[in-house]
Homo-oligomer: A and B are copies of this chain.
Amino acid sequence: MSGLEIIPMHGIGEVRPGDDLADLIIAADTEVHDRDCLVITQKVVSKAENRLVDIDPSDPLSHKPLVERESVRILRRRGELIISETEHGFVCANAGIDLSNVERGQAALLPVDSDRSARGIKDRLQARAGLDVGIVVSDTFGRPWRRGVTDVAIGCAGIAAIVDLRGTTDALGRELMVTEVAAVDEIAAAADLVMGKAEGICVAIVRGLPEEWFRPSGVVQEIVREPADDLFR
């Protein structure tokens, strides 16, 4: 395959509850093409969907009851850190709730159904601008065993979450047994390289992905591992 471009989208500005992200993307300064994959940060999806909750700004732990409420299973606690499983099946710190880039006195919860959020944005871009794109909703998660956070996908639409290389052959002509690549997580990670946590870029375009990756999909269905299949839960 040929190369990819990762392009930050400029001109979206601050997102507020009730804003329509499809309209903001259409009105932004960066042109979108058919078969682009747009990566949108969870933070602005949660803001647009008004998943903001008031907390006591004088109490640094006032979001902790929210973490318990938004968790279906607590995996680990250390000090103030809680690693838990959300209703979506995501395992992450503090049930994905965070306080950065929201107004003081507020906390942003994850979207209720981030695959549905992605589908809604995709469908509105199609309806209003005739654009045929993939959408990824990204969030920033830690990992066991490795320091540093990376962006992963918590929702997607119109772009493969998993690219299945089973049955194709390797470069020496032998059949590859199982290689299911979490393409959507690699796309989210690639987009984060141009986002910069502090620069106010909340959408990035990944341009040049293989045609056959554009298909109906969802992160919860394809990426979330069932607890019974999981060696670490």
A residues sitting closer than 8 Å to B (CB atoms) are: 1-8, 14, 75-76, 78, 83, 85, 90-91, 100-104, 140, 143-152, 161-162, 165, 168-172, 174, 176-177, 179-183, 185-187, 189-190, 192-194, 196-200, 206, 209, 222-225, 230-233
Contacts and interface: CB of A to CB of B under 8 A. Distances in A.
27 contacts: A1-B8, A1-B199, A3-B5, A3-B6, A4-B5, A76-B231, A83-B231, A85-B145, A91-B145, A100-B170, A100-B174, A101-B172, A102-B172, A140-B181, A143-B143, A144-B230, A144-B231, A144-B233, A148-B181, A148-B223, A149-B182, A165-B197, A168-B198, A181-B192, A185-B189, A189-B190, A193-B209
Contacts of A224: 145-147
Nearest to A76: B231
Contacts of A187: 193
Given A8-B1, A170-B100, A150 B189 contact: yes
Nearest to A81: B231
B145 A230 contact: yes
B145 A225 contact: yes
B174 A183 contact: no
A101 to B, nearest CB: 5
In this complex, which of A148, A190, A209, A232 has the most chain B Cβ atoms within 10 angstroms of its Cβ?
Answer: A148
